[in-house]
Chains A and B, each alone.
Chain A
Amino acid sequence: MFEGRRLILFLVFLTVAVVYLGKLFYLQLIDDTYEKAADNNAIRKIIQVPFRGEVYDRHGKLIVYNTPVYDVYITPRKAYVADTNRFCALFGITRGYFDTVTRQARSYSRVKPSVFLKHLSKEDFARIQDAMVDYPGFSITTTAFRTYQSIAFSNALGYVAEINPNSLKEQPDDYYRQGDYVGVSGIESYYEAVLRGQRGVKYRMVNSNGVEKGDYKNGKLDVYPVAGQNLYTSIDIRLQEYADSLMMNKVGSVVAIEPSTGEILTMVSAPSYNPSLLAGRNFSKYYQKLALDPLKPLINRPPSAYYRPGSTFKLVQALVGQQLGIISAGSVFGHAGAPVKCHVHTTAHNDLHNAIQWSCNPYFYHAFRKILYDGTTGDTYERSAQGLKRWSELVANFGFGRKLGVDVSNEKRGNLPTAEYYNKVYKGENTWKFSNIYSLSIGEGELVVSPLKMANFAAIIANRGWYIPPHLVKGVGPRRTLDPFYKNPVSVGVDAKYFPVVVQGMQDAVLHGTVGADGRIPDITMCGKTGTSQNQKGKDHSVFIAFAPKDNPKIAIAVFVENAGFGGFAAAPIASLIIEKYLKGRVDRKAVETKFMNMSYLANVVYNRPANRVKMDTLKK
């Protein structure tokens, strides 16, 4: 019975077999998507990190380049070490390190490489290179460290470090991987996208043993790494080094700009640090130390430090007052009736020129009062608001209270008080008037500027009314491209005819005004203005802005020396030395040079160190 059913059953079996063989035929011989996907599995992708762009100074001198270093990777599945002690001796590691790292690598992945030893020098690499054939499963990747030709350009240049977890998470284009290096501050950070270049990808065939069998598809799919582009900065590295040496044992900034181009010649932040410390395998050790230093050597002060401009701001008042048609070169104001005193002069004919030359506080008090009240209507509150609005709109043209757009990271806006600002501070409209805000007249009060802004301001006066946004890089890559933003002049809206009286006042301030003998260069006409930036925490800061020569100026400069007191004392001589060095290529006033190089203005400030707090706590008890 039912013998025929064997055949029916077998026909069912055969049908299944035929369907399966058909599907297998399709998978294995027709459809190549799976073959391609298999490539994915057995093709090894090798990432090639290109060298970072180099950095040059304005005369083509190399400032920063790369030194190759070598990272050793371990692939646990393939790693085989016959004699562990000999291996450890070769690499100069302890047995404990070997065990820990191999264990970690194994727990991460048996088939993917993990870092075994980082940052071997060229010499170490040469030593181990030959022995590496005895140790399968260990591979070497080349990376590079930044190497610096000069230690004087650290802060504005910035440094390079492993990307931190937050930046890694928040990166918009998903470029970086864990452990990648990235520019952290300064131009290294600002120009990261061009400096880093483009990572390359190389596809190698890997057989079942993980041994490379040559290029995949003859390298057709490979993406060659594109080296980072070089930066050609406007920095004069010799001037930078000279300025840096003058700022030894001082806290402060020097910014020098070529007025006709907006190119920054020198940007010094003091105190500074040796950039090589942050470029080696001891990064974390030195970074800790520098980050905890109370003098904050890591920050780049010129674009980001907050100061009051002090008396240097009187030049702004002089220009804005004239442009508004409220004062003129002939306007005369006496000392009487002002809550601010004139420290220096007693001249009877106190016109604008003399007021600048002698930095007369009462003059600018009266002038600012006129600026606020003349030509406005209503009560004093309303008139103050109208006047301040008129005034701040014009002052903003000079770059105060906003970013200039310099090409380093961390540029700060500073603060230029406006009517809205005071409405907020005094909680309501018409709650404040001139008597509340008169300290603006002499560059104190709520005004906050950075040294960079003041250098730019010096350049504006040097140019008699315009500037090109200051920048550190004058060309990127082989074709030296430059953003048009850094090529086009910006007018400040003050007519050129209002400048001569200010310039003359500055010249006379240097020759026989507020600037002392140390700040005069015998054979160069320097126009400058001193300032004393009030400091609630300690001794006032010394400020000086200048440009030289008077006609067709080649350099505009701002010098801030913290806790050095009156502007004529420290800032002006240092500025004069830098100008002399730049214009003549040498400094003849050796005595002045030595004096200010050795001058220290460090010890005048009490910082909140933990030790002090402990003492105060014990006193309370």
Chain B
Amino acid sequence: MSGSSGQLKSRIDWISVGLYALFVLLGWMSIYSAIYNPESHLGLTDAAFYTSNAGKQLIWIGTSFVLIMFIYALDFRFFESFAVFIYGLFILLLIAVPFLGVTINGSHSWFKFGSATIQPAEFAKTATALLLAKYLNDPQVNLGRFKDQWRAALIIALPILLIVGSNETGSALVFVSFIILLYREGLPSAYPSILLGGIFLFVSALMLEPLTIFLILLFFVIILVVLMPIYLQRMWQTYVKLALGISVIMTLVMVVEWVVNHVLKEHQRNRIKVLLDPGFDPRGLGYQVTQSKIAIGSGGFWGKGYLGGTQTKFDFVPEQSTDFIFCTIGEEFGFFGVSVVVILFMVFLWRLMYLADLQRSRFARAYGFGVVGILFFHFLVNIGMTIGLMPIMGIPLPFLSYGGSSLWSFTVLLFIFLKLDSHRSDMLSR
């Protein structure tokens, strides 16, 4: 059991909690800045304040605190014991959402309980991380083996399929981040390498003409052929391999072209076009990115000062408080501010990885890396899209973005790990 409260307090990792609190505060300040209007100033005592984004976020923050208390009150073994049950519950919710859910902001993926709305996809990440960790906790499991890789992949694939089925491709992509968990737990390096190579090939296929790619490959091949006779004897075999390699890559390139032009939907294709060509349709499809870059770019080094932003007011940047909260920081606190946020995120991720590696139980460690992976993926995509390096997806910035579902899910995700961490000496190393 958890022991006395004095012991518990000492075991809580206050660095992580402090960083969490800092992110939440910075997020709330930015949300408040976006609604701030000195001529119709809303105080904490105004009822209207609680219908504004900043007021609602304050309520989400308060309830998050309740959730944290609740998590700390639970037995630490609960998460491991109930991992299968929790996973099953969210799979059921994902199945039910197309039938029982409501549509919010064009996304039919929400449950409504009274006035509160919950997006099960947000919590499915946590459930999946728990089940993966539980699965890996079995000492028999070895991710070097194809059978176990296949099972782990199944755990991840099930929610992905359900989420893609309800048209939330962005949320589904988050599950790709579990590759970090699996990698740490022994997945052969070939997998992440293939993933990165695939992404690289995908991007080059979009940015370059197939002929260009072919010529580049040919160039390398010729260099190899010229150099090789010195080292290799079985030349003809090598040539066949090289030709085969080029054929495979070129086929993949063609497939990418075909997928982008025929399989992807119009809005997805456009998001990719916007990414590759920043000037593409600046008033229409490229509007969000352009306005976002304008807001960030106008910040300069020190920013315009808190509440002094102009671009992040007047609705110049759509989705200001949710997906584009980073703009507000960029405009009001400048390069200094965004550097602090990026560095803090790095410190946070490092701290979590450090804590995860301290865990004696594989369950807690694996879960910890699951948390790190999810947080990093959000960081990567969210900040990337505000500066035009990533396509626009509905991916919030953890802890900072406006929204109850998102804040709650990240809070639960993080504090389950911190709870496990506070009991690391109680757990048996296996």
A-to-B contact residues, CB < 8 Å:
1-3, 5-6, 9-10, 13-14, 16-17, 19-21, 23-25, 27-29, 31-35, 37-38, 41-42, 77-78, 80, 111, 136-137, 206-209
Contacts and interface: CB of A to CB of B under 8 A. Distances in A.
A38 B353 contact: no
A105 to B, nearest CB: 16
The 4 closest A-B pairs by CB, nearest first: A34-B297, A38-B298, A42-B310, A28-B335
A136 B39 CA distance: 8
Nearest to B290: A37
B398 interface: no
Interface of B: 36-40, 180, 183-186, 290, 293-301, 307-311, 313-316, 330, 334-335, 338-339, 342-343, 345-346, 349-350, 353-354, 356-357, 372, 376, 379-380, 383-384, 387-389
B38 A209 contact: yes
A31 B350 contact: no
Contacts of B350: 10, 13
A9 B310 CA distance: 38
B281 to A, nearest CB: 15
Nearest to A39: B298
28 contacts: A3-B357, A9-B183, A9-B184, A13-B349, A16-B379, A17-B342, A17-B343, A19-B389, A20-B389, A21-B342, A24-B296, A24-B335, A24-B339, A27-B297, A28-B296, A28-B297, A31-B297, A34-B293, A34-B296, A35-B298, A37-B297, A38-B298, A41-B294, A41-B316, A207-B310, A208-B307, A208-B310, A209-B37
A20 B39 contact: no
Given A13-B349, A38-B295, A209-B39, A28 B334 contact: yes
Nearest to B310: A42
Contacts of B345: 17
Contacts of A34: 293-294, 296-298
A21 B297 contact: no
B211 to A, nearest CB: 29
B183 A38 contact: no
A111 B387 CA distance: 27
A42 B311 contact: yes
A41 B388 CA distance: 20
Nearest to A6: B353
A510 B141 CA distance: 127
A2 B346 contact: no
B316 to A, nearest CB: 5
Contacts of B379: 16
B346 A13 contact: yes
A6 B335 CA distance: 29
Nearest to A37: B294
A10 B38 CA distance: 43
Given A17-B342, A208-B310, A209-B39, A38 B330 contact: no
A14 B301 CA distance: 21
Given A3-B357, A5-B183, A41-B310, 19 more contacts: A2-B184, A2-B185, A9-B184, A17-B343, A17-B346, A19-B389, A20-B383, A20-B389, A21-B342, A23-B389, A24-B330, A27-B387, A34-B298, A35-B300, A41-B314, A78-B39, A80-B40, A111-B314, A208-B309
Given A6-B353, A27-B293, A28-B297, A38 B310 contact: yes
Nearest to B296: A27
Contacts of B185: 2
Nearest to A78: B39
Nearest to B40: A80
Contacts of B184: 2, 5-6, 9
A137 B36 CA distance: 16
A31 B36 CA distance: 29
B389 A29 contact: no
A528 B113 CA distance: 97
Contacts of B290: 37
B339 A38 contact: no
Contacts of B296: 24, 27-28, 34
Contacts of A208: 36, 307-310, 313
B195 to A, nearest CB: 12
A137 B37 CA distance: 13
B131 to A, nearest CB: 21
B186 A1 contact: yes
B330 to A, nearest CB: 7
A38 B311 contact: yes
A249 to B, nearest CB: 60
Nearest to B379: A16
A2 B315 CA distance: 48
Contact of B330 (A1, A28, A41): A28
Most buried by B among A1, A25, A42: A42
Contacts of B300: 28-29, 35
Most buried by B among A3, A6, A35, A137: A6
A535 to B, nearest CB: 60
A206 B384 CA distance: 30
Contacts of B36: 208
Contacts of B310: 38, 41-42, 206-208
Most buried by B among A27, A31, A37: A27
B309 A6 contact: no
Contacts of B294: 34, 37-38, 41
Contact of A23 (B39, B309, B356, B387): B387
A534 B338 CA distance: 88
B81 to A, nearest CB: 25
Contacts of B307: 208
Contacts of B183: 5, 9
Given A28-B301, A41-B310, A208-B313, A13 B376 contact: yes
Contact of B37 (A16, A24, A77): A77
Contacts of B356: 6
A24 B298 contact: no
Contacts of B313: 208
A206 B184 CA distance: 52
Contacts of A19: 389
Contacts of B40: 80
Contacts of A27: 293, 296-297, 387
A210 to B, nearest CB: 8
Nearest to B389: A23
A5 to B, nearest CB: 5
A34 B314 CA distance: 17
A14 to B, nearest CB: 7
Given A13-B376, A77-B37, A209-B39, A20 B297 contact: no
Contacts of A1: 186
Contacts of A9: 180, 183-184, 353, 372
A175 B195 CA distance: 56
Most buried by A among B40, B186, B296, B310: B310
Nearest to B304: A208
A20 B330 CA distance: 12
A20 B310 CA distance: 23
Nearest to A43: B310
A590 to B, nearest CB: 71
A20 B342 contact: yes
Nearest to B305: A208
Contacts of B298: 34-35, 37-38
Contacts of A32: 297
A20 B387 contact: yes
Contacts of B380: 16
Given A20-B387, A209-B38, A29 B186 contact: no
Nearest to A136: B39
Contacts of B37: 77, 209
Nearest to B196: A12
Contacts of B315: 111
B39 A35 contact: no
Contacts of A37: 290, 294, 297-298
B297 A38 contact: yes
Most buried by A among B39, B350, B356: B39
A217 to B, nearest CB: 15
